[in-house]
């Protein structure tokens, strides 16, 4: 079944193909059912609008753009879609508190959250209450394991590591240093990269740093001891780290994650020559993104990043799955558990029936002369 189309120059819901036919049972009585047909379908959103991860505000704005489109097209089963957005302050404790405030007042059909540390703090409560939670920008290993109500729409740590190790294999280093944020995201990617390197006989040094670090001048004193440096952190961390080693004249290779794939990195002199993983949003063959990119940039006056794309595509996926207005949390869970393929701004993504991971492809890239180009071995 194909839902949506391209109309009036806007990418609505380009292609949403249900692979397995799932019969959703009609639940007539539910504690959480939103009774009135005129009431909005509420989705709770916990995002880092302040703090070290506040660059992820792009997720919110991508969501809002998509919500406008969904509601212009009639909403969900004739009911408007409404986001209840609260700030996690880039903190697991504040994020969980924001979740509890939304839950106490609104009882939304489901939740969306961002960052590994915050989403992992919310997940046990979502399981306890029995409400679907979809994590965005959540790479940590094991986020969905053993959890019935928790889903992920983002590459896993192993996906990031596979691209990094693939690039690393062409460089054949002997000594590698991984400087990583000390949180579930940084630890998960570091372990995956380290394990792959150690199995190949490479010497690996790990240097952790706290999420609030902004000065990297004293983090890595002897960078010349390493053939390859791998910074793993939020966008600001990667930028600060690369600025520091650029000033010191480091002449080895630098490989990092998709955190550094946003357009604001491409023209930075310190980023020239840096290898990284990149989402398909930035691939030249992605023909689905142009109209949405132009709409976003007109609305917000800044680049349409892959973070905005995750927010935008997540809303369209949910609207396509929850296509009837009278939807409960149990309905949302069953819909999210179904198998589907969705083609949107991030390319084609797919999920098997009963799987909790919505796979998002990454490709190896390098920043060269102000552009992000595919790295070919």
Work out the pLDDT band at 349, boundaries 50, 70, 90: confident
Task: Identify whether residues 139 and 163 lie together within a single domain.
Answer: no
Task: Identify whether residues 132 and 170 lie together within a single domain.
Answer: no
Task: Identify whether residues 342 and 369 lie together within a single domain.
Answer: no
User: Which CATH number fits the domain that encloses residue 349?
Assistant: 3.40.50.2300
- pLDDT by residue (tens digit) across 96-114? 999 999 999 999 999 999 9
pLDDT over 70 at 217, yes or no: yes
Is position 259 within any domain? yes
Residue range 241-251: mean pLDDT, rounded: 94
pLDDT at residue 27, rounded to an integer: 32
Task: Identify whether residues 303 and 264 lie together within a single domain.
Answer: no
Contact (Cβ atoms closer than 8 angstroms) between residue 364 and residue 350: no
pLDDT at residue 4, rounded to an integer: 38
Work out the pLDDT band at 180, boundaries 50, 70, 90: very high
Task: Identify whether residues 64 and 127 lie together within a single domain.
Answer: yes
Query: Among 149-153, 212-216, 220-224, 330-334, whose mean pLDDT is lowest?
Result: 220-224
pLDDT over 80 at 353, yes or no: yes
Residue range 338-363: mean pLDDT, rounded: 92
- Quick one: what percent of the chain has pLDDT higher than 90? 81
What range defines the domain where residue 85 resides? 6-156+285-362
Task: Identify whether residues 332 and 369 lie together within a single domain.
Answer: no
Q: Please give the residue that has the higher pLDDT: either 10 or 274.
A: 274
Task: Identify whether residues 162 and 292 lie together within a single domain.
Answer: no
Mean per-residue pLDDT over the chain, rounded? 89
Is position 90 within any domain? yes
pLDDT over 70 at 376, yes or no: yes
d(CA 211, CA 53): 9
pLDDT at residue 373, rounded to an integer: 96
Both tokens assigned to 125: 């409560």
Is position 169 within any domain? yes
Q: Count structural domains, the chain.
A: 2
Task: Identify whether residues 175 and 268 lie together within a single domain.
Answer: yes
Contact (Cβ atoms closer than 8 angstroms) between residue 316 and residue 344: yes
pLDDT at residue 10, rounded to an integer: 42
Q: CA 157: distance to chain centroid?
A: 12
Task: Identify whether residues 40 and 163 lie together within a single domain.
Answer: no
Task: Identify whether residues 272 and 330 lie together within a single domain.
Answer: no
Is position 326 within any domain? yes
pLDDT at residue 324, rounded to an integer: 67
- pLDDT by residue (tens digit) across 26-83? 333 333 344 445 789 999 999 999 999 999 999 999 999 999 999 999 999 899 999 9
d(CA 373, CA 367): 6
The number of beta carbons lying within 10 Å of the beta carbon of residue 100 is 14
Task: Identify whether residues 137 and 23 lie together within a single domain.
Answer: yes
pLDDT at residue 172, rounded to an integer: 94
Is position 1 within any domain? no
pLDDT at residue 359, rounded to an integer: 85
Is position 131 within any domain? yes
Task: Identify whether residues 151 and 180 lie together within a single domain.
Answer: no
């Amino acid at each position: 079944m194909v839902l949506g189309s391209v109309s009036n120059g806007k990418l609505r819901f380009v292609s949403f193909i249900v692979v397995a036919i799932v019969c959703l049972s009609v639940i007539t009585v539910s504690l959480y059912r939103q009774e009135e047909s005129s009431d909005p379908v509420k989705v709770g959103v916990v995002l880092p609008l302040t703090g070290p991860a506040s660059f992820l505000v792009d997720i919110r704005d991508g969501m809002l753009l998509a919500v406008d489109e969904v509601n212009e097209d009639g909403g969900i089963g004739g009911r408007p879609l409404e986001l209840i957005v609260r700030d996690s302050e880039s903190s697991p404790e504040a994020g969980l508190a924001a979740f509890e405030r939304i839950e106490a007042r609104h009882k939304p059909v489901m939740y969306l959250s961002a960052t590994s540390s915050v989403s992992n703090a919310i997940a046990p409560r979502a399981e306890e209450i029995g409400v679907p939670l979809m994590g965005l920008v959540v790479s940590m290993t094991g986020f969905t394991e053993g959890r019935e109500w928790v889903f992920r729409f983002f590459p896993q740590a192993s996906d990031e590591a596979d691209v990094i190790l693939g690039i690393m294999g062409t460089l054949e280093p002997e000594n590698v240093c991984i400087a990583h944020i000390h949180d579930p995201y940084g630890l998960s990617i570091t372990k995956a990269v380290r394990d792959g390197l150690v199995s190949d006989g490479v010497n690996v040094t790990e240097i952790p740093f706290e999420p609030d670090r902004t000065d990297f001048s004293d983090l890595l004193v002897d960078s010349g001891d390493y053939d390859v440096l791998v910074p793993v952190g939020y966008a600001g961390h990667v930028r600060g780290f690369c600025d520091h080693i650029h000033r010191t004249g480091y002449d080895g290779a630098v490989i990092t994650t998709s955190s550094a794939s946003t357009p604001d990195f491409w023209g930075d002199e310190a980023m020239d020559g840096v290898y990284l993983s990149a989402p398909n949003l930035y691939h030249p063959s992605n023909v689905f993104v142009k109209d949405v990119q132009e709409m976003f940039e007109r609305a917000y006056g800044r680049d349409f990043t892959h973070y905005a794309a995750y927010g935008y595509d997540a809303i369209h996926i949910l609207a396509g799955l929850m296509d009837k207005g009278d939807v409960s949390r149990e309905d949302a869970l069953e819909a999210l558990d179904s198998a589907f393929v969705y083609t949107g701004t991030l390319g084609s993504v797919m999920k098997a029936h009963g799987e909790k991971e919505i796979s998002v492809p990454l490709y190896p890239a390098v920043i060269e002369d102000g552009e992000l180009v595919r790295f070919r071995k």
